[in-house]
Homo-oligomer: A and B are copies of this chain.
Amino acid sequence: MRFRLETRYADYDTKGHVNNAVYLTFFEMARHRVWVERMNGDADFPFIIAEATVRYVSEAMIGQALDIEITTSEVRAKAWVWSYVIRMVDGGRVVAEGRTVQVMFDYKAHRAMPIPDGVRAQLAGV
């Protein structure tokens, strides 16, 4: 699934680039769009992030529109992997790519839990 990214002036650093930490926020925005808007999940996510990786491929300067693609690339018993590619809207140049590992989490019992079947089915469609 691909979304347009709404960047903010505060995302850019002293060199006019998107600050490196902000890419994880962009990934989080994509998770939110998928989870809340496509999977009808709660905005307060019932999963935790176990690992995140970003590879910075080329520069995104202020004023350049970006979009982000999110794909389910692996589903395990209690966790799944989402992969991301951020591209320039104009021309499609890849700006960054990465992946995050999500662990389904039972906040009451405070431990990982199996991915419910309904969620599993939806993840396959992302």
A interface residue numbers (CB < 8 A to B): 6, 8-10, 12-16, 19-25, 28-29, 32, 36, 42-45, 48-56, 62-63, 100, 107
**B51–A55 contact, CB under 8 A?**
yes
Given A22-B21, A28-B21, A53–B56 Cβ distance below 8 Å? no
Q: Which residues of B contact A21 (CB under 8 A)?
A: 10, 21-22, 24-25, 28
Most buried by B among A15, A23, A29: A15
**A63–B50 contact, CB under 8 A?**
no
**B8–A29 contact, CB under 8 A?**
yes
Give A15 to B47 CA distance when docked, in angstroms: 11
**A14–B44 contact, CB under 8 A?**
yes
**A62–B50 contact, CB under 8 A?**
no
A12: contacting residue among B13, B22, B23, CB under 8 A: B13
Give A123 to B48 CA distance when docked, in angstroms: 34
Nearest B residue to A54, CB-CB? B52
